[in-house]
Structure 1
């Protein structure tokens, strides 16, 4: 996907022609390990917040800045870092961002004050936005055109794995040793990802730098602008509600703590399977796939408060939600690739930035609804956002009936 400006979208990157299929997929695997490490680091404090707050002498609410600050900075760094990167070989940027992630984990592990901890988290945010911009843009560049959707799905699977395995594992390690050891182990994982990228990711030269004019040009186009609004609505629908899924299950649906743990594990596992299942479907019918998963998300959010007195029904709705969100990042990522085929880095940068904004604003507004009205109302608010997301999808018209290769390598739009 990371084609250069004014280069036809169908041109295949030189590195793909020179690499064997095995080597290409090993490169995608190296980026996937990096994705796993980034997301694990990003959400690691969620499970460790009470211990960190106690040891560094801050209130739990203040300690929440460890999650907020990286998200805000990532929203800025997604376009900002790529603007500053110029024509630097994208492989070198991958390696630099992984080094920054390693530094973030080490600073956090040895932080003697909360200010130093926030410095480490700020470094994470700076590298996070740049990494996701590059990773999503490089997916199709590392493999053959017809494998682009599967490569994107594989990289996004690193996110699901981090949610299912990484964050709980960090909490488990903290229980055995300390929260500092959790950051150190995550740092070791980053070192593995760095070594894998150094060995396996090929040269990714860039003949044209991303410019502010590219971002402005993209935002002036109605199709990408409406696509970004759709992304914001759908991600906002998820995160305005998902942030409070555990309190809902505990307080409103009367689940035990152990049951919630297993149910959320199931949420992640079905999402993992959904991500790969839709990687095949999305290449045949992107719009139908997106309508399906957003509809599932909307129905789950709408039904859960109504069914809260039936434990089996709530469990089913949580798993349906997992299926939906497992495929949503993939569908929207491919959609943005098609919305900006001639400006892939600009499209990827704005895509990552709008997701971070949606996460921050969605969680903030959702929290206000929870405090003022209650968790069920927040879920209905999320379902309303999902409905608006569906309306945004409907504005794009009928599905393009083309082959996956034509869609991912040509200038075909997804409407």
Structure 2
């Protein structure tokens, strides 16, 4: 019995009649295109999470609390959760290359507005634009692997895509924090605007035309959401993303208050976290292709251990460093495992799976950042770490219990059950 209400893949279509519109080409562009999209993901991820490292100076600049500054993480997630299905459905006939390039142009403008914002409302306006880009870019980009590389290389292409997530932490955020400490947080966002323009040029050169495929309609999304594999993936993703962003969004205030770390040490600790995240992504790639449920359960368990240990060991720099490395390895595995879960639940609809992944991930990110900010404003950064650890334990148990609902193929390409 299939886990989803989606139709089985159709038989091969006959040749295109003379005069008919050409069908979308499959697997064009290859690895140069994969790397170009990965660069776009890096720019997007760095812009999204950069406020985590700059939360304290941004709050001081506008005389707002850490919890209020955390709206910079909450708002984009909420917008992205809505934008993912809406933009993907309404633009299902648009060329995907044109869409991705237009979205990166909007990202550059959002970065520039962040850098020039005269008041906090302008910062939030820029983050709304960022949320639109996040929702649409992830939905389209996360389902591109089948159109860019051969089937046996799709798992590796997804791993390459998600390498950009920890790279945003290992390179983007520490570099932004360092630049912010030297020249102000606005300079960090101005630098991101310049970088995004360069990435846009790389996309224009490397990405081939990508005519729309069958398109992602509301009926397809409803069918996907009816599947047991998708519903269990939503539950697990909600819990683990809630645990992570509810606590990690406020790791810089924790390091300042509990570890008594200055800007230089905070940069170094975030650099170690990001490097560990890169390792976690690489280690998770093949394991996620074979058993995404078990891999996600393991990542959630390790994340729980890290967040629960940080209040215990985080009073010193070395202790915080060890815990953040464990945390980085754990979370580095989460995005690729989560996406692989959704792709395995709907192998015949990769873009629709990307929409569900993006919308659920971003909605939970915003909820986590908002909930964490409430705890920080009315409690402490230590309390938010403990709550995050408990939620991660629940995520691990749920992922383990639901791991049998999806079955990737032996080659690593997702397959439904």
* Alignment TM-score, normalising by the size of structure 2: 0.85
Cα deviation code 1:366-400 (max 9, x no counterpart): 33334445444332322221222122223325497
Give the match for residue 229 of structure 1: 235
Query: 1:152-163 residue pairs with structure 2 within 5 A?
Result: 152-163=158-169
Residues 1:123 and 2:133 aligned together: no
Give the match for residue 249 of structure 2: 243
Give the match for residue 108 of structure 1: 114
Query: 1:165-180 residue pairs with structure 2 within 5 A?
Result: 165-180=171-186
Q: In 2, distance between residues paired with 1:59 and 1:312?
A: 31
The answer to whether the 8 Å contact 1:282/1:331 transfers is yes
Q: In 2, distance between residues paired with 1:246 and 1:63?
A: 12
Give the match for residue 82 of structure 2: 76
Q: In 2, distance between residues paired with 1:54 and 1:310?
A: 25
Instruction: Name which of 387, 408, 411 aligns with 2:413.
Output: 408
Task: Name the CA shift for 1:350/1:110 in 2 (closer, same or farther; >3 Å).
Answer: same
Q: How far did 1:115 drift?
A: 4.3
Q: How far did 1:256 drift?
A: 5.6
The answer to whether the 8 Å contact 1:140/1:151 transfers is no
Q: In 2, distance between residues paired with 1:218 and 1:394?
A: 22
Q: In 2, distance between residues paired with 1:246 and 1:115?
A: 23
Give the match for residue 324 of structure 1: 330
Q: How many residue pairs get matched?
A: 401
Cα deviation code 1:274-321 (max 9, x no counterpart): 212221333333333222222211222233334456765543332111
Residues 1:337 and 2:338 aligned together: no
Q: In 2, distance between residues paired with 1:311 and 1:386?
A: 24
Residues 1:213 and 2:219 aligned together: yes
Residues 1:97 and 2:103 aligned together: yes
User: Could you say what the CA RMSD is over the residues aligned between the two structures, in angstroms?
Assistant: 3.0
Give the match for residue 17 of structure 2: none
Give the match for residue 147 of structure 1: 153
The answer to whether the 8 Å contact 1:285/1:399 transfers is no
Q: How far did 1:179 drift?
A: 4.3
- Secondary structure of 1:290's aligned partner: helix
- Secondary structure of 1:281's aligned partner: helix
Cα deviation code 1:109-132 (max 9, x no counterpart): 444554444333322211111001
- Secondary structure of 1:87's aligned partner: coil
Q: In 2, distance between residues paired with 1:256 and 1:118?
A: 27
Residues 1:285 and 2:313 aligned together: no
Give the match for residue 362 of structure 1: 368
Give the match for residue 19 of structure 2: none
Q: In 2, distance between residues paired with 1:378 and 1:50?
A: 17
Cα deviation code 1:203-251 (max 9, x no counterpart): 2222322222222222222221121111000111111221232333444
Q: In 2, distance between residues paired with 1:159 and 1:94?
A: 18
Q: In 1, distance between residues paired with 2:11 and 2:199?
A: 30
Give the match for residue 275 of structure 1: 281
Q: In 1, distance between residues paired with 2:276 and 2:184?
A: 30
Task: Name the CA shift for 1:7/1:102 in 2 (closer, same or farther; >3 Å).
Answer: farther
Instruction: Name which of 369, 373, 385 aligns with 1:379.
Output: 385
Q: In 2, distance between residues paired with 1:255 and 1:58?
A: 21
Q: In 1, distance between residues paired with 2:163 and 2:47?
A: 16
Q: Which residues of structure 1 form unaligned runs of 5+?
A: none
The answer to whether the 8 Å contact 2:314/2:323 transfers is no
Task: Name the CA shift for 1:10/1:323 in 2 (closer, same or farther; >3 Å).
Answer: farther
Residues 1:182 and 2:192 aligned together: no
Instruction: Name which of 258, 262, 271 aligns with 2:268.
Output: 262
Q: How far did 1:39 drift?
A: 1.9
* Alignment TM-score, normalising by the size of structure 1: 0.85
Q: In 2, distance between residues paired with 1:401 and 1:210?
A: 23
The answer to whether the 8 Å contact 1:150/1:276 transfers is no
Larger mean CA deviation between 76-85 and 95-104 belongs to 95-104
Q: In 2, distance between residues paired with 1:184 and 1:10?
A: 50
The answer to whether the 8 Å contact 1:8/1:342 transfers is yes
Q: In 1, distance between residues paired with 2:73 and 2:403?
A: 38
